[in-house]
């Protein structure tokens, strides 16, 4: 299973290299998902806003598995999520594969 996730991840990275001209790391991919979900593209985001965008991405990619649900959207358009169930206990490589798998599902479901 890990090999399948890794191969699909490399395929995603290759598509993103085609689109953006350089290989993104996981934080960059989460940032891109966050911007996509936030829906407002700005020339500059503050460091805090970038962290918020990555949080939006994590919540979005884990929502289909029942970990988070959209709770509200504030007056500035920022979505707020509530955690529905705790994350499973995993070591670092397992966490990375868990997140990669959910990111891959996100891209597949959204045909991006």
pLDDT at 41 over 90: no
pLDDT at 1 over 70: no
- pTM summary value: 0.88
pLDDT at 2 over 70: no
DSSP state of 80: E
8 Å CB contact between 100 and 13: no
Q: How confident is the model at residue 34 (pLDDT cuts 50, 70, 90)?
A: very high
Helices (H) and strands (E) in the chain, counts: 4, 2
Interatomic CA distance for residues 86 and 18, integer angstroms: 36
pLDDT at 111 over 80: no
pLDDT for residue 95:
93
pLDDT for residue 112:
67
**Structural domain boundaries in the chain:** 2-109
Q: How confident is the model at residue 43 (pLDDT cuts 50, 70, 90)?
A: confident
Q: Could you give the percent of the chain with pLDDT greater than 90?
A: 82
């Amino acid at each position: 299973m890990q090999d399948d996730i890794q191969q699909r991840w490399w395929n995603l990275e290759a598509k993103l290299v085609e689109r953006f001209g350089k290989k993104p790391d996981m934080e960059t991919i989460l940032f891109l998902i966050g911007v996509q979900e936030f829906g407002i593209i700005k020339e500059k985001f503050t460091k805090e806003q970038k962290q918020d965008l990555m949080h939006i991405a994590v919540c979005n990619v884990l929502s289909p598995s029942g970990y988070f649900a959209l709770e509200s959207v504030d007056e500035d358009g920022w979505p707020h999520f509530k955690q529905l169930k705790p994350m499973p206990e995993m070591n670092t490589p397992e966490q990375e594969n868990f997140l990669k798998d959910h990111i891959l599902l996100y891209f597949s479901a959204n045909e991006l």
